[in-house]
Amino acid sequence: MLTLAEVCNELRISRSTFYDWRAKKRAPRCIKLPNGDLRVRRTELEHWLDGREDVA
């Protein structure tokens, strides 16, 4: 599982952008840990990215 920092770094976005997407239900699905931290499964991130692929 990826940390939020790793996801933001990979997507080259800020943490605030990620939270904005999450509030608008546009971010990849997250797992919320008991301490409140978020994690994203690698497979979920790849699936989410595949869904945003632009076919020319």
Of 34, 31, 33, residue with least CA distance to 42: 31
Q: What is the pLDDT of residues 1-36, one digit of tens each?
A: 999 999 999 999 999 999 999 999 999 999 999 999
pLDDT recorded at residue 56: 60
